[in-house]
Amino acid sequence: MAAYVRWFDSLTNKDVGIVGGKNASLGEMIRALKKKGVTIPNGFAITAEAYRYYLQYNDLEDRLRDLMGKLRPKDMSSLKRTGIAVRRLIADAQMPEDLQKEIVLAYKKLCGSKACDVAVRSSATAEDLPTASFAGQQETFLNVRGEKALLRACQKSMASLFTDRAIIYRIEKGFDHFDVALSVGVQKMIRSDKAVSGVAFSVDTETGFKDVVMIDAAYGLGESIVQGIVNPDEYFVFKPTLATGHAPIIKKRLGDKKIKIVYSSSKTHPVKKVAVPKKEQQRFCLSDTEILSLAQMVQTIDAYYSKLNKRWTPMDVEWAKDGTDGKLYIVQARPETVHGQAKQCVYTTHRLLKKPSQKIQLTSGLSIGSHIVSGIARVIQSAKDISKVKKGDIIITKMTDPDWVPVMKLAGGIITDLGGRTCHAAIVSRELDTPALVGTGDATKTIKNGTPITLDCSQGAVGYVYQGEIPYETDKINCDKVPKSPVPLMINIAAPEAAFGVSALPVDGVGLARVEYIIANSVKAHPMALLHPEKIKSARIKKQIESLTAAYSSNTDFFVDSLAQGMGTIAAAFYPRPVIVRLSDFKSNEYRNLIGGQYFEQEESNPMLGFRGASRYTHEQYQEAFCLELQAVRKARELMGLKNIKVMIPFVRTVDEAKGVIDLMASCGLKKGVDGLELVMMCEVPSNVLLIEQFAKYFDGFSIGSNDLTQLALGVDRDSALLADLFDERDPAVMKLFEIAITGAHAQKKYIGICGQAPSDYPEVAQFLISKGIDSISLNADSVIPFLLRQKKRG
């Protein structure tokens, strides 16, 4: 048996001390998961003992100790000088002849009859442990071909045990530099330079929501994502219904993918960056089948390691698609350490104390974390300038790389022009619990160096940078210590991107999911404009629609997919708790504001009382578009398997309208009672209250819409600033309607809840409804904890 080389398929997770965390993990997966459909390219590990032998053969340890003894860790220039000197000493030493022979022999066996290209990766003996891991401590070398190039890459890999970030990491974790050794992994390259590659996590990296697989994908070699030089495609797959045979792709976000890394013919630079053609940028780089296949492999890895460790172990996985054979491969997997540790349930909110004006917004991007922070902007154009960063500064740069880790630990926040949610800046910021904004596109140009700024990541998936220091507050609540609600408590939600975070609140489900938000923010175009682009006269608007829908085979596919994914994300976040999805309740003036809307909407003098709700759904001017909404509901319920979705119809003026909508829904494939489908009606027009026993024949339950019910009961336009003082849900007439509705619904043995604003704004309204026997109360997210704490005071 070879002394210094071990083939991956001979390794298990117990061999970390011999071949390091990455290589041991690869061996474990090849042995245990190959039969379960996880495909991993073969290779071999050069053991940690080979590294020790290499140092001993060249008599390096004393010289290394001497250099490290002079290091001043808090001095960036000292760290840089020491790191360079140590790495050079190791990389330029002589490879022992017997070790060379073993490596070359293994390489020939791996390649077969002719030289092949391999990836050379480091695998340290103290990395990828459940409590000790960091992104990119050591170096990776791609497209290494030939014996001489391989041996040189192995020496450089050994030297990378002393990268600046690895040195600092070991000091902070309390590891002795000379107790840690490095194994080198040699793995046959997957030709993703001709296809696609990326990273995947078996957890939502922002919120810790455990029921999704998150996948980032871009063209070419995977380093483009890790280095943050591209904004990748992003996909989310829901694990519980993936396991039941459904196809739950609950989110697809198109990245620009402008650059890819491919093979180069240069011996000194074996890879290069090239531009991606515009047409490819506008397409998703993975098919739905590939997304689901990859998610299945990631979930299999997660399940295996969770069983092995006897606790949930979310995984951080690198994958690649081979452009030659078209197959997907797993090339690395390690525990994800930010969310993998058992934590107390704490719900933390961050809130600006005043709303910033649009004038002081400097840029926006993808939020990493949910914090708010103020500090001095430190615009760093290159790594040479990182010594200028002071503790608490907010770093603004094009992108970060592993060499930046020491200085990132000083920063109050990180903002980058490039990158997606799994780029280096994002990964490290999460591990440091530092707020970050990535993929802004223009931060280094729009933010002035040395000026005070506020970075706000508290508003969901998109974060903002504002000029100046804006006051904010932070509140932490232990979820386990709030009292229980005296009535089932639901939540109102509009933004799917907020769903994973707020799903941790102690609520029984979603009482109102607003479809119009998804249409306005994800679809953006008027649905009839998508159905009938030939009616649009403006070339500019046509171009906007073409750009929106470029990744899809048809405009209708774009609409249905976008809407289904928005609904699906919310339903997945709360699964299996019920989620009541209210179909679109835009008014005609709001529909006109959508792209192309002016071609399909009349101008109404009072749109609040105009063409909206049930009357719109069944009208010939909108019926086609309504059926697209129903297709989206069917996709979320049937294809994604999210049967916890209930459907709510807003603004039903008459019983005949109710019957007409339900008949239309049935003709479009959504029939009450079939496959467990429940239909709910908004109770928001006085006629709904007065004739509730007749409406009850067509619906499974009701949800009081206090905003419209108040408006119509008091004859007050709720949008009128002049009449704002008269609009009050606590008015006796409105409270009487609440009571009649509850009594009437219960008399028909129907469920009735409330999803209007009143209980969120007025505690006395909530208490009145509870006293009258309301079946549930649905609140805005920021009202849930205060509502529950008030119950404690009453107790």
State the average pLDDT over residues 408-434. 82
State the average pLDDT over residues 150-167. 92
State the average pLDDT over residues 55-66. 94
> For residue 710, what pLDDT is reported?
92
Which one, of 195, 81, 194, 185, lies nearest residue 139 by Cα? 185
- 128 pLDDT tier (thresholds 50, 70, 90): very low
State the average pLDDT over residues 667-679. 96
- 495 pLDDT tier (thresholds 50, 70, 90): confident
Please give the Cα distance from 364 to 11 (Å, whole number): 46
- 704 pLDDT tier (thresholds 50, 70, 90): very high
Buried b (16+ CB within 10 A) or exposed e, 186-213: bbbbbbbbebbbbbbbbbbbbbbbebbb
State the average pLDDT over residues 359-387. 87
**Strand ranges in 488-577 using DSSP code E only, listed in sequence order:** 489-493, 510-514
Q: Which residue has the tokens 């009050």?
A: 728
Please give the Cα distance from 455 to 463 (Å, whole number): 8
| Element containing residue 568 per DSSP (H, E) | helix 555-574
Identify which has the larger pLDDT, 232 or 477: 232
Please give the Cα distance from 653 to 691 (Å, whole number): 11
Please give the Cα distance from 419 to 227 (Å, whole number): 8
Per residue, the 3-state secondary structure of 227-248, as one string, reads: CCCCCCEEEEEEHHHHCCCCCC
- 367 pLDDT tier (thresholds 50, 70, 90): confident
> For residue 700, what pLDDT is reported?
97
Identify which has the larger pLDDT, 369 or 239: 239
Contact 737, 745 (CB under 8 A): no
> For residue 173, what pLDDT is reported?
77
Contact 320, 189 (CB under 8 A): no
| pLDDT higher than 60, residue 523 | yes
Q: Is 372 left (phi over 0), alpha (psi -120 to 50) or beta?
A: beta
State the average pLDDT over residues 26-42. 93
State the average pLDDT over residues 774-782. 90
| pLDDT higher than 90, residue 649 | yes
Length of the chain: 795
Least confident of 63-72, 133-142, 300-309, 567-576: 133-142
> For residue 347, what pLDDT is reported?
66
Contacts of 28 (CB under 8 A, 6+ apart): 11, 12, 13
> For residue 529, what pLDDT is reported?
97
Identify which has the larger pLDDT, 649 or 504: 649
Mean pLDDT over the full length of the chain: 90
> For residue 794, what pLDDT is reported?
54
Specify the pairing of strand 579-582 against strand 413-416: unpaired
| pLDDT higher than 70, residue 486 | yes
Please give the Cα distance from 487 to 510 (Å, whole number): 14
**Strand ranges in 532-587 using DSSP code E only, listed in sequence order:** 579-582
> For residue 143, what pLDDT is reported?
93
pLDDT tens, 535-551? Answer: 999 999 999 999 999 99
Please give the Cα distance from 426 to 506 (Å, whole number): 29
pLDDT tens, 219-238? Answer: 999 888 877 788 999 999 99
And the tokens for 643?
């049967």
| pLDDT higher than 80, residue 792 | no
Neighbours of 562 (CB within 10 A): 23
| Upper half-sphere CA count for residue 138 (Cβ side, 13 Å) | 33
pLDDT tens, 720-772? Answer: 767 777 888 899 999 999 999 999 999 999 999 999 778 877 888 999 999 99
Q: Is 424 a catalytic residue?
A: yes
Instruction: Return the percentage of the chain with pLDDT > 90, whole number.
Output: 68
Q: Which one is catalytic: 339, 350, 371, 424?
A: 424
- 345 pLDDT tier (thresholds 50, 70, 90): low
| pLDDT higher than 50, residue 131 | no
Identify which has the larger pLDDT, 576 or 164: 576
> For residue 44, what pLDDT is reported?
97
pLDDT tens, 610-634? Answer: 999 999 999 999 999 999 999 999 9
Contact 667, 646 (CB under 8 A): no
Please give the Cα distance from 356 to 467 (Å, whole number): 9
State the average pLDDT over residues 378-397. 86
Neighbouring-strand partners of residue 455? 373, 465
Q: Which residue has the tokens 């949910």?
A: 370
Cα dihedral 746, 751, 755, 756, rounded to 10, equals -20
And the tokens for 773?
């026997």
> For residue 346, what pLDDT is reported?
67
Three-state SS at 192: helix
Please give the Cα distance from 266 to 247 (Å, whole number): 43
State the average pLDDT over residues 435-460. 91
> For residue 476, what pLDDT is reported?
75
> For residue 344, what pLDDT is reported?
56
State the average pLDDT over residues 6-10. 95
And the tokens for 225?
């994502």
Contact 525, 596 (CB under 8 A): yes
Residue 395 one-letter amino acid: I
> For residue 718, what pLDDT is reported?
74
